Chains A and B, each alone.
Chain A
């Protein structure tokens, strides 16, 4: 059994601590709008200032996602995206980047279909640093969370505003890597966050766990990123990035150099938010 023996997430959060700043996590859907452009974006994200990457595994029925990421998922599938291809992208990415943590985010069915063990082995070999599987709550830990633990691969848990003191211990029990705090009650890309509420929730969460806490869902701007990382360990931006991809497509729905350039420009802007640069 070839287990995961990297520590990219741990090293990142240690470094962030040293640098006295929060991290920036960037979500893109693998193969959106196609493999070539998606891979180019992925490879250039770290240089533009992304500290961590969440690579979405496209799924036909993304139950927890709003219209923006739904559309990204469908674009990816239409261009031939698949779980196999997502893993190939990670492998390519790792040829030139051995430092930036990359976690896979998505839904369980493609993994179940691929075979859990097969998936874990291939994901670790490709250079994946963790898994965020939206539709696997702690009640279903036997499916993938515990097998991932056996392979030493972080299984990142989502907590929500409804995760109260009674629910939290259940959620945190088998959590590893970091905690992903879902900052709004709803689906991705629909609302903006209420910073004060999120701050209180993160504070409460810290009483229950020593793991780093990243905040996502509803974070869109440099200011959001700056606000959120003033009290959490990382901010994750998804729909805002995917929106830029969508906006950049030509009338046939095809991406271009502009797609890559626009995404990277937004990432640079957001990255300034975690580095406490003055907003121009």
Chain B
């Protein structure tokens, strides 16, 4: 169970209305409000119930396969000739990414609420697969909303979801990617209030989702802390994670927010920040309101949300979780970005040197590490969240690597 924090901590947010500073909140239609309040109440009750946490602990251990290893990436470390690099291996979780950490928690809450049907949005398909998996396990009906573009570029995951018994809705509205999938899931939820629970896949959406999802993902950072003390007898110096909505990142970062540790989030720079073809909401956006919360968004002069671009479907979102916006403005976390091409190079390098095929998303984190690691001293320790494995990306990646002569 999460412990209460001492005063003067960066870890106690949000307030009771879901605000992290000016970010977060509950910007949803009145038709959705009762549903959101129900989820909040169920979450509050579950959170203070030891039985809930021991049940979750059971599935973490026996089903997801936690704890995930903290692995010293020795060949990459040798290759870079600088700081020591560790991977938190959440790609080894059942279903191949960190998404299942959150899904198991929310699925248990849905069950407690007596809901029999689950909806979810998905970008890369990892959250969709994780949700379909939990639904198979708990005998819940599952419907996943996925942008039509993503249905094409993440086909293996579409097949997996279908195999697991989920119905995949291909969303053609708007730009037919993750943000539209989320719009559609919210629209659908309104009309199915009595029976359906909406499992949001990242630290976005209206309160309590950003907080709830974070708390379920914090297991990543909590384990890392323990494992690092075991391996090195101290805290790491730098944490690095990629940011789509920001759930794997906040999961790793949050338990370290009050510690003397440098923290870096890596957004997707797509074709480059200056091209506007990117998904870096903090680097290239400004505050606005979408999907139930105030946060940094990619938008035009009129406040219309613009399309994000990233080779990684999981990062291709024009927003970011509200807590990250707050941590950005307070300066506690540094947010940087990596381009499609840099991520592809890291994808190839990691596969060849470590025998780990990373997902395109954490390849962005590695791409940034590549820029800084060689200039850091040998006793400096970096932990990167290897939050997903890359099998799902091969179809998109292989032709690009061939082009770049990296295969």
Contact = CB atoms under 8 A, between A and B. Distances in A.
State yes or no: do A and B come from one complex: yes
Contacts of B291: 61, 63
Contact of B173 (A58, A67, A136, A182): A67
Q: Chain A contact residues: over half helix, strand or loop, or mixed?
A: loop
Nearest to B286: A113
B288 A64 contact: no
Contacts of B74: none
A145 B358 CA distance: 48
Interface in A80-126: 82-84, 107-114
Interface string A144-183: 0000000000000111101110010001000000000010
B191 A137 contact: no
Contact of A110 (B30, B33, B287, B304): B304
Q: How large is the interface on A (under 10, 10 to 19, 20 to 34, 35 or more residues)?
A: 35 or more
A157 B26 CA distance: 16
Given A109-B299, A137-B28, A59 B33 contact: no
A47 B297 CA distance: 42
A171 B30 contact: yes
Q: How large is the interface on B (under 10, 10 to 19, 20 to 34, 35 or more residues)?
A: 35 or more
Contacts of B173: 67, 70
A77 B29 contact: no
Contacts of B31: 64, 158, 160, 162, 182, 185-186
A212 B402 CA distance: 67
Contacts of A63: 28-29, 183, 186-187, 291
Interface in A227-271: none
Contacts of B179: 61
Contacts of A19: none
Nearest to B187: A187
Contact of B190 (A82, A136, A185): A185
B2 interface: no
B14 to A, nearest CB: 13
Contact of A82 (B34, B292, B302): B302
B30 A182 contact: yes
Contact of B290 (A109, A136, A190): A109
A12 interface: no
B25 interface: yes
Contacts of A158: 29-31
Nearest to A81: B302
Nearest to A136: B27
B290 A61 contact: yes
Contact of A137 (B26, B299, B304, B305): B26
B303 interface: yes
B316 to A, nearest CB: 15
Interface of B: 17, 25-31, 33-35, 173-174, 179-180, 183, 186-187, 190-191, 193, 287-292, 294, 297, 299, 301-306
The 5 A-B residue pairs whose C-beta atoms are closest, nearest first, are A113-B303, A186-B191, A110-B303, A60-B304, A82-B302
8 contacts: A63-B28, A67-B173, A109-B297, A135-B29, A139-B33, A140-B27, A162-B31, A182-B30
